[in-house]
Structures are given as C-alpha cells and as structure tokens.
Structure 1
Amino acid sequence: MASATRTIAESAGVPQTRGAYHRLLEEISSGRIEPGSRITETELAERLQMSRTPVREALRRLEAEGLVTHKPRVGVIVRQLGYPELMELYEMRWVLEGTAARLAARAASEVELEELAAINDEMAASAGDGAALYALNRQFHTTLIAAARNRYLVKSVRAIELTLQILGPSTLREMSRATEAIAEHARVVEALRARDGAGAEAAMRAHMESAQRTRLRQLRRHGRLMESEEGPEP
C-alpha cells in the first residue's frame, strides 16, 4: 500500500517537474536568467509556487543536458559558453543543417516545400515582431530537418539547439538580421524546389555562417563572450 501511494505521488510530481524544466529553459533562452547566474532551489520554488522537489529534478535534467553546472561553494549556475565551444557548436550546425538541406532536396514532398515557402513568407510579413520571427524561424528549420527523413540527424540537431539556448535571445530581434535570414531562407527553398542537393547544402551553410557572425557580434557587444571555458564534462 505504501509503495502504491509513493508511486501515485511520484506520478503526480511529473507535470510539476516538466513545468519547472520548461519554465527554466524559457527564462534561460530569453535571457532573463543570464549565463553565470546562480540558481537557488528555494528562490525558484517560491517564484514558481511549487515545492523544491520538482525544481531540484528540473535542475538535474538541465545539468545532464549541459545547460547548468554545479560549482563547489557556489551552487547551481547557468553555464557560460566560451569562444572555442561556441565555434564548435556552430561548426556542427553547418554540418548537420547543411546535410539536412541536401537530404531534403531529395526526400521532401511538394507539400513540405510549399510549407517552407509559406513559413518564410509569414516571416517576411512579421517584420519587427521578434517573438513571432523567432517562433517562425524555429518552425522553418524544424520543418526542413524533418523533411530530410533521418531521425538520427533530427536528434543531433536538437542537442545542438538545446545547448545554444544558453546564448539568450534570438539574433532575429535585430531587424537587419531578420531581413538577411528571410532572403537566405528563400535561397534554400529555391534550391530545394530545383532538387539541387549541393545548392541547398551550400545555401544552408551560408545561412548558418551568417547567423554565427551576427551572434558573435551580439555577444561581444554585450560583453558576454568568454575567450575560454572549462566546457562540459566528457
């Protein structure tokens, strides 16, 4: 009986843990909790109006995923990405998303190609709305990666994107970058429609390189780019 009661209680805590996890992830990705910031279970539990147990479990998940780390005599802090790791992450984005575009040129359905074009058109119509542009950009990349028809590639891209949440708000909040990204997406879609795998891959790699340059400028401008870091545990 005691075992059954414990199982029910544990099951009831799962939604709270999931909620705490997504709330923390959103605050990190939006920049409300900055890299290097200390996170305390007590303060967070009070702010989220829940017990410390789901908060603790959410922090453990974020630590396992490499977004936060535990420092002796300090506690849990949001990880800071240094220049070397940032470059490595973007290099992987070039490889993975460039490969996704090449595969999608062969495997994407006409419906998926039309959806990609429609999402990009909606981005163009959402100029100035940073939140909408961010959501639509995620949708564009998610749709393209799914069209590659490779589940292992999808998992790898998600892992990279998760770590990049540490960097804070999207570069698409800058109007000039949003305009560039829309034009870059259009070139990717054009190559996909032509079933030009090499062209689609080159266009996507150019898109990733442009995003990287903007991100580096943004981090330097706000003094948030470390020259080195300890990095995640191997």
Structure 2
Amino acid sequence: MANAEPPMDDDGPQSNGAYRQILADIRAGVLLPGARLRETELADRFGISRTPVREAMRQLEADGLVVHIPRQGATIRVLDYSEVMELYEMRAVLEGTAARLAARAASDMELDELTALNDEMASAPNTAAAYELNRQFHLTLLDAAKNRYLVKSVNALQKTLLILGPTTLIEPVRATEAVAEHMAIIAALRDRDGPQAETAMRTHIEAAHRVRLRALRGRERPTEGI
C-alpha cells in the first residue's frame, strides 16, 4: 500500500523523531543537565516502542549530550565551568572566522537576507520567535562563509551548547543588544572588511558568554536563574 504509515517497529524514522524531540526539550530547558532519561517514560510520552528511544539515546550519547552514570543510567550531561568557558572560546574563534570569510565570499543577496532577518528579530513578538530568527541569522552567515569544514565544526559545537538550556535572548535587554551587535557585523560585511567583521562577531559572542555565565551562576543558587 503506497501511503501506509511506517510500522511501529521501524525504528529509523521514529528514532529520528525521538532524537529531535529530546534535543528540543534540552534546548527549551525541559530536560536540564543532570536529568535522567528513562526509556519507558520517553516511549510512553512519544507513543513509540523503547527500541527507537534507545537508538535516539545512543545518538545523543555519540553527540556528547548524554552520559551513562552508574546506578542512575542515561543522564543529560552536566558541563562544568571550564567546559563552558572553552565552548564559548571556540565559538568566538569559529564564528569569528566565519564572519571574516563571509566578508570576502558573501553575495549581496546573502547580505540582504542577513539584514532582513535582523530587522525581523528587532520586532519579534516573543523569545521563541527571536531565538529562531537569531538562529537563522547565524546559519545564514555561516553558509555565506562558503567553507563546509567550518560548517561541520560549528554545528558540532552548537549541539553541545544546547546542554546550557534556554537562549540568552530570554533577557529582553540581551535581545536588543544582540540586534545592535548584528548590525555592526552586517556593516563590516557590507564594507568587505574581514578583520572588522571578525572583531564584531567576537564581541557579539563574548557578550552572549557574559550573559550565559550570569545565568549559570544563578542556577547554582537555591532558585534557578535562567
């Protein structure tokens, strides 16, 4: 039958769906660092068997997002302070390089798209919309750098950053600052000034890093800070 639904034991599409849903929960802060992942509970929640859930958890483990703790099982990985510092240092290096390369390689159409995304972000109605527009801005700039190996490196880093939870744009002031920082990046790109584009991107990432560290310090107190 041509349009039949995939069978319940076909764990390919289902494991991909479970994987994406768990990633979304990590990104949204529904699953926080240290949270246990129970196969039975997840299978019931997603309406699938435990086999695709187990496969999704293996993939998350390969990504470095899940670890197995003795007598506890699969758990969302907890990043220590030094790891967070290292992640943002590498993000500044990689995305700064992307901005420098994009200043040389980006088309006028790509620059116009970056401007349009940032304009939409400035008037985004909520944090979720601002997050998605910000994500599209960074992906568009990364594509404009025209370096496939850089794309792979940034994508791998971004997966690990998901462990940190909700976007820093949840702070209204940070969202406004990010739009202004994007404008500085775009201005350097339009001037075809690679070093300045890299500097503007590094400034942008470092600002996000400071907000993230404040949020993490808040988490360590009795009340959560993000």
Answer whether TM exceeds 0.5 for this pair: yes
5+ residue gaps, structure 2 = 1-5, 222-226
In structure 2, how many angstroms separate the alpha carbons of the residues matched to 1:130 and 1:11?
Answer: 37
Give the deviation of 1:221 after TM superposition: 1.2
Amino acid across the alignment from 1:16: Q
Matching of residues 191-202 of structure 1 within 5 Å: 191-202=188-199
Number of the residue aligned with 2:59: 61
Give the deviation of 1:222 after TM superposition: 2.1
Q: Give the aligned length.
A: 216
Give the deviation of 1:10 after TM superposition: 9.9
Please give the per-residue CA displacement for 1:148-172, whole angstroms capped at 9, x wherever unaligned.
Answer: 0000000000000000000110010
Give the deviation of 1:13 after TM superposition: 2.0
Number of the residue aligned with 2:131: 134
Amino acid across the alignment from 2:173: S
Aligned-partner SS, 1:47: helix
Give the deviation of 1:74 after TM superposition: 0.9
Number of the residue aligned with 1:205: 202
Find 1:146's aligned residue among 138, 143, 146.
143
Aligned-partner SS, 1:77: strand
Amino acid across the alignment from 2:210: R
Aligned-partner SS, 1:80: coil
Number of the residue aligned with 1:79: 77
Number of the residue aligned with 1:98: 96
In structure 2, how many angstroms separate the alpha carbons of the residues matched to 1:97 and 1:112?
Answer: 16
Please give the per-residue CA displacement for 1:63-99, whole angstroms capped at 9, x wherever unaligned.
Answer: 0100010011110100011011111110100110000
5+ residue gaps, structure 1 = 1-7, 225-234
In structure 1, how many angstroms separate the alpha carbons of the residues matched to 2:162 and 2:192?
Answer: 32
In structure 2, how many angstroms separate the alpha carbons of the residues matched to 1:43 and 1:22?
Answer: 16
Number of the residue aligned with 2:22: 24
Give the deviation of 1:223 after TM superposition: 1.7
Give the deviation of 1:142 after TM superposition: 0.2
Give the deviation of 1:203 after TM superposition: 0.1
User: Percent of aligned positions with the same letter in both sequences?
Assistant: 61
Give the deviation of 1:11 after TM superposition: 8.8
Give the deviation of 1:48 after TM superposition: 1.0
Number of the residue aligned with 2:39: 41
Number of the residue aligned with 1:112: 110
Scaled by the length of structure 2, the TM-score of the pair is 0.93
Number of the residue aligned with 1:5: none
In structure 1, how many angstroms separate the alpha carbons of the residues matched to 2:96 and 2:83?
Answer: 20
Aligned-partner SS, 2:175: helix
Amino acid across the alignment from 2:132: A
In structure 1, how many angstroms separate the alpha carbons of the residues matched to 2:41 and 2:114?
Answer: 42
Number of the residue aligned with 2:11: 13
Please give the per-residue CA displacement for 1:122-150, whole angstroms capped at 9, x wherever unaligned.
Answer: 00011x51000000000000000000000
Find 1:52's aligned residue among 31, 50, 53.
50
In structure 2, how many angstroms separate the alpha carbons of the residues matched to 1:53 and 1:106?
Answer: 47
Aligned-partner SS, 1:50: coil
Q: Does 2:185 match 1:188? A: yes
Q: Quick one: structure 1 residues 53 and 11, their matched pair in 2 at CA, closer, same or farther if it must change by over 3 Å?
A: closer
Aligned-partner SS, 1:140: helix
Scaled by the length of structure 1, the TM-score of the pair is 0.90
